[in-house]
Amino acid sequence: MANTATLTWTFPTSNTDGSPLALSALTGVDVYAGTSKAQLNKIQTIPGPFTTPTASVTVDVTNLGYGTIYFAVDVTDAAGTSAFSAIGSKTFVAPVPNPPTNFLVA
């Protein structure tokens, strides 16, 4: 099973009160996944600080099972942790056998 989802997001540029947020102030990003929107579990932490000029990140999440997997991220700075990003999903369909060949009816 080699199912992979590529997650991409843009970092926030402001705090909840509207004040500016410096990208370098972020201390980490937590990546969450689960089989329902209500049950997301942390699967990875990406430590900061961040200095990417484009202020965006792409992460591959690998070795996922079959079915619909939901994903979200949050960010942390010295003041605390944000709410989840929007929740996205990807569905992986299990492969089924090819049909039999050389089928004859006499």
Q: What would the pLDDT profile of 74-86 be if each residue is shown by its tens digit?
A: 999 999 999 999 9
| DSSP assigned state of 101 | S
| DSSP assigned state of 38 | T
SS3 15: coil
Q: What is the pLDDT of residue 49?
A: 84
Whether the per-residue pLDDT at 91 is higher than 70: the answer is yes
SS3 24: helix
The residue ranges of every structural domain in the chain are: 3-92
Q: What is the pLDDT of residue 38?
A: 95
At 14-68, the pLDDT tens digits run 999 999 998 899 999 999 999 999 999 999 999 988 887 666 788 999 999 999 9
7, 58 Cβ separation under 8 angstroms: yes
Looking from the CA of 25 toward its CB, the CA atoms found within 13 Å total 14
25 Cβ contact partners less than 8 Å away, ≥ 6 residues apart: 49, 77, 78
**Cα distance between residue 96 and residue 23, in whole Å:** 46
Q: What is the pLDDT of residue 3?
A: 94
Quickly count: other Cβ atoms within 10 Å of residue 26's Cβ.
21
89, 33 Cβ separation under 8 angstroms: no
Q: So what's the architecture of 3-92 in CATH?
A: Sandwich (2.60)
Q: What is the pLDDT of residue 76?
A: 95
SS3 59: strand
